[in-house]
Chain A
Amino acid sequence: MTPEELVAHLQEVDASFVERSDIQFGQASVWIPRDKWVAAGTHLKECGRCKFDMFNFMAGVDWPDDNQIEVVAHLYSVRRQHHLNMKIRVARDDGSVPTLSSVWRGANWHERETWELYGVVFEGHPHLVKLLLPEAFEGFPLRKDFLLMTREAKEWEGREEPGPPDSSPRPGRVPQSSGVSHAGGSGGSSAEAVAPRENEGAP
């Protein structure tokens, strides 16, 4: 089903499933209210037209300006080959979402990870303990107010485009185009060549 059809189908089944929907770059996202979260998930898994049998991942997105955390569960259907994002926004402090691990077994570990990184509690989860972080870790690292101390100590400038692509450099010579910052930056500069390049078709 196309993304539009998916959203329309969900609204047909139960109008309260879809609080709001969005389609970006060909992928559908639906915001589902909290009390319909598990019901919508169950429907999406079992309905013959949707058939979302694969639980792909769950991510959290922190929106400090709205004081909310968005939980995104991405589903995929192997049979029908379509994707869907199930989204829900909860309050930052003491936000909680019902668990999807009774619907898809794969949700188990993803919910544990989202909980420990964001602080969103998943109600009804069988074993909500830390997965990636050590037991003694305090705080929720992926929130925006948990600062990355090395970046606070020193700002990391992004690499800028080192010049037009056909400034044919000769071997061993570093071009003097402006805007090349030698501090930080990973990978090599695209202009240092030590072997003659081939730009021909099939040999």
Chain B
Amino acid sequence: MAMTEERSAMFPGGPGEGMEIIVAGKGDLATEEMVLNIGPQHPSTHGVLRVVITLDGELITAAEPVIGYMHRGFEKLAEARDYRQIIALVNRHDWLSAFGNEVGVALIVEKMLGLEVPPRATWIRMLMAEWNRILNHLMFLGSYGLELGAMTPMFYAFREREEIQALMEAATGGRLHFTYCRPGGLKDDLPKGFLQHSQKLVKLTRHRLLDYAGLLLGNEIFKKRTVGVGVLPGDVAKDYGVTGPILQASGVAEDSRLTEPYLFYDQVEFDVPTGSNGDSFDRFHVLYQRIEQSLRIIEQIHDKIPAGPIIPGKMPKTIKVPEGNYYLRTENSLGECGYYLVSTGDKRPWRMKMRTPSFNNVSMIPYLLPGILVPDLIAVLGSVFFVVGDVDR
């Protein structure tokens, strides 16, 4: 049957101005697909991520993330800096877990150089890395609730973050970008009273973590909004290279701290929590459990830190990594963060590829979004934990 179409302009100025209504005439009921642009400025995308979605009513039929709004050319910049200056650079792509990135760079340089790091420095690095992981996870715990409409967890999360940031500032001098690691060890030793403060903070954080379980995990409305929404099967996740809490929530217990222990992770006990369904609730729940596991690790580290130096005795004046290439990965808060370093024996890297977790996590959005409704879009996008600086570098 032929379809007649009437266009009526509801506002003065005719078609093209204001809103136009297309009325499908008698015959086949055809609806047009609407292309909606979420972002780059939007209250709930984390940073400048733009997602162009094609809507059929309220159902999403296609989604395409447009990234690159924060591309700063880190990899090119890294080729112009030497191995100490890169540490400050690398702080800044995943700024919520800055210390984890620093550890990755320091580790790969030390591995290729064959530098022996004193044990005290390694234990302190582990301690800081775990506190940093908790900082990152707390941020996403708070902001996910905010996107669904629960305002309160955000404030609680920031209260916890303030305390932990004050702790880390005492040792490193920074609240967000620490620049504390150096190839070979650390910049400075811990101040007096740090470990006692850290122990107190573990107890406090553990106590306050129960608030989140009560406010969100047990909340029926939260469960209704997130259970069964945005299911990511494990093999699709692996295909896209998704790692970290998202992969673990899809049922794959892949954690670099367990499979290829770096630092001294083989000397502490912890579990890797996994989810069963791969939906948004599982991703959130895994995040929550990872904080508990990190607290457990921190407690064990407190008992194991030895006395000693924090820099090896004989450090070269300029660090020149011998020729070769290697890829080293660490388990960062958002997933697997790795550095592929190609060196030609110079004091600057020839090529430093930063394998960032958020890039792969965001690349699976075109798979995840189609087939869900617009209100669920926010619930799903919020559960794909990413930091835009990480995606774009």
A and B touch in the complex (CB under 8 A): yes
* 3 A-B pairs with least C-beta separation: A158-B82, A186-B88, A59-B353
**In chain A between 110 and 136, which residues have their CB closer than 8 angstroms to a CB of chain B?**
117, 130-134
A142 and B327 within 8 A (CB) = no
A57 and B305 within 8 A (CB) = no
Task: Collect the chain A residues with CB atoms within 8 Å of residue B392's CB.
Answer: 132
A158 and B179 within 8 A (CB) = no
A158 and B347 within 8 A (CB) = yes
**Binary interface encoding of chain B residues 147-185 relative to chain A, with 1 for a CB under 8 A from any of its CBs, else 0:** 000000000000000000000001001000001001000
Q: Which of B76, B85, B239, B318 is close to A104, meaning CB atoms less than 8 Å apart?
A: B239
Task: Collect the chain A residues with CB atoms within 8 Å of residue B311's CB.
Answer: 165, 190
Q: Does B224 interact with chain A (Cβ within 8 Å)?
A: no
Task: Collect the chain B residues with CB atoms within 8 Å of residue A132's CB.
Answer: 67-68, 71, 392-393
A72 and B340 within 8 A (CB) = yes
Q: Which of B79, B87, B259, B353 is close to A186, meaning CB atoms less than 8 Å apart?
A: B87
Known contacts A27-B326, A158-B348, A201-B307; decide if A57 and B340 are in contact (CB<8 Å): yes
Task: Collect the chain B residues with CB atoms within 8 Å of residue A105's CB.
Answer: 236, 239-240, 364, 367
The stretch of B38-46, B93-101, B187-195 that contacts the partner chain:
B187-195
Query: In the bound complex, how far is the Cα of B339 from the Cα of A74, in angstroms?
Result: 11
Known contacts A165-B315, A201-B307; decide if A187 and B84 are in contact (CB<8 Å): yes
Q: Does A195 interact with chain B (Cβ within 8 Å)?
A: yes
Q: Does A5 interact with chain B (Cβ within 8 Å)?
A: no
Q: In whole Å, how far is A87's beta carbon from the nearest beta carbon of chain B?
A: 9
Task: Collect the chain A residues with CB atoms within 8 Å of residue B359's CB.
Answer: 109
Query: In the bound complex, how far is the Cα of B243 from the Cα of A29, in angstroms?
Result: 23
Main secondary structure of the interface of A (DSSP, over half): loop
Nearest opposing residue in chain B for A155, CB measure = B80
Task: Collect the chain B residues with CB atoms within 8 Å of residue A15's CB.
Answer: none
Task: Collect the chain A residues with CB atoms within 8 Å of residue B329's CB.
Answer: 56
Q: Which of A24, A141, A148, A203 is close to B196, meaning CB atoms less than 8 Å apart?
A: A203
**Binary interface encoding of chain A residues 27-60 relative to chain B, with 1 for a CB under 8 A from any of its CBs, else 0:** 1010000000000000000000000011111010
Query: In the bound complex, how far is the Cα of B308 from the Cα of A153, in angstroms?
Result: 43
Q: Which of A57, A141, A190, A200 is close to B188, meaning CB atoms less than 8 Å apart?
A: A190
Q: Does A197 interact with chain B (Cβ within 8 Å)?
A: yes
**In chain A between 152 and 179, which residues have their CB closer than 8 angstroms to a CB of chain B?**
156, 158-161, 165-166, 179
Q: In whole Å, how far is A98's beta carbon from the nearest beta carbon of chain B?
A: 18
Query: In the bound complex, how far is the Cα of B310 from the Cα of A199, in angstroms?
Result: 9
Q: Which of B192, B239, B340, B351 is close to A196, meaning CB atoms less than 8 Å apart?
A: B192
Query: In the bound complex, how far is the Cα of B259 from the Cα of A172, in angstroms?
Result: 44
Q: Does B228 interact with chain A (Cβ within 8 Å)?
A: no
A185 and B85 within 8 A (CB) = yes
Q: In whole Å, how far is B340's beta carbon from the nearest beta carbon of chain A?
A: 6
Q: Does A67 interact with chain B (Cβ within 8 Å)?
A: no
Task: Collect the chain B residues with CB atoms within 8 Å of residue A185's CB.
Answer: 84-85
Query: In the bound complex, how far is the Cα of B326 from the Cα of A74, in angstroms?
Result: 11
B239 and A53 within 8 A (CB) = yes
Known contacts A106-B363, A197-B192; decide if A53 and B238 are in contact (CB<8 Å): yes
Q: In whole Å, how far is A103's beta carbon from the nearest beta carbon of chain B?
A: 9
Q: Can you list 10 A-B pairs, Cβ within 8 angstroms, ordered by A?
A: A53-B238, A83-B327, A85-B325, A105-B240, A133-B71, A165-B311, A165-B313, A195-B170, A197-B192, A202-B304
Query: In the bound complex, how far is the Cα of B327 from the Cα of A203, in angstroms?
Result: 37
Q: Which of A25, A57, A148, A158 is close to B326, meaning CB atoms less than 8 Å apart?
A: A25
**In chain A between 8 and 38, which residues have their CB closer than 8 angstroms to a CB of chain B?**
24-25, 27, 29
